[in-house]
Amino acid sequence: MRTLAQQALVEDGAPVDTVLSLSVYPRRKIVRLALDSALTAGRRGAHWYSTHHALARALSRTTGVTVHTYVYDPQEYEEVLAFGRGQHVGGERLCYDTVDLPECVDGEFDDAAFARMQARWPLGHLAWVFGVERELLLQLHQMKPTRLSLQDSGPELSLEHLLHGIAA
């Protein structure tokens, strides 16, 4: 896993002090991998992730599973991309300024109608695919992660080994 992430860092031009952050939602077997550095923090980081997919491509190629990436900028857009066998295989971006909002009731949005609308947006659809609520995907970054230094030259750790240590 470390070697794969190190190669992705080089390909995407990330700083050498970048750390791999791994969080797991075991009930639905959802794994969140993130490259953490000054370059990937905050809104600027969201935009960085929108164009740097080396880790997702590599993981999809080596594991044989579809890897989904998502970007959430609450002020601008949300985007979901899918990678299979190392190739981009689908995805969608929704810019919030293009959304027609539901009718107002007494000057306020109908929260239920807005939630139904968000369920059809890219992150809502990905949540449906995973069998979770959209809010859970938006909160994955707040789960306590396991952080893996990518500068170490210690023994290679398999993704299965890392997941077993977290889920246990």
78-137 pLDDT tens trace: 999 999 999 999 999 999 999 987 666 676 667 788 888 999 999 999 999 999 999 999
140 closest CA partner among 70, 47, 48: 70
Residue type, 80: V
In a domain, 128, yes or no: yes
Q: What is the reported pTM? A: 0.85
Task: Write out the residue range of the structural domain in which residue 51 sits.
Answer: 4-153
Q: How far apart are CA 113 and CA 110, in angstroms?
A: 5
Q: How far apart are CA 55 and CA 80, in angstroms?
A: 15
Averaged confidence pLDDT in the chain: 87
In a domain, 28, yes or no: yes
Number of domains forming the structure of the chain: 1
**Helix (H) or strand (E) segment spanning residue 84:** strand 77-84
Helix, strand or coil for residue 125?
A: helix
Query: Tokens for 62?
Result: 């080596």
In a domain, 42, yes or no: yes
Query: Tokens for 139?
Result: 């909160």
5 closest CA partner among 31, 36, 29, 30: 36
3 closest CA partner among 41, 55, 47: 55
More confident residue, 167 or 65: 65
In a domain, 163, yes or no: no
In a domain, 160, yes or no: no
In a domain, 22, yes or no: yes
In a domain, 162, yes or no: no
Tokens 């139904």, located at residue = 116
In a domain, 167, yes or no: no
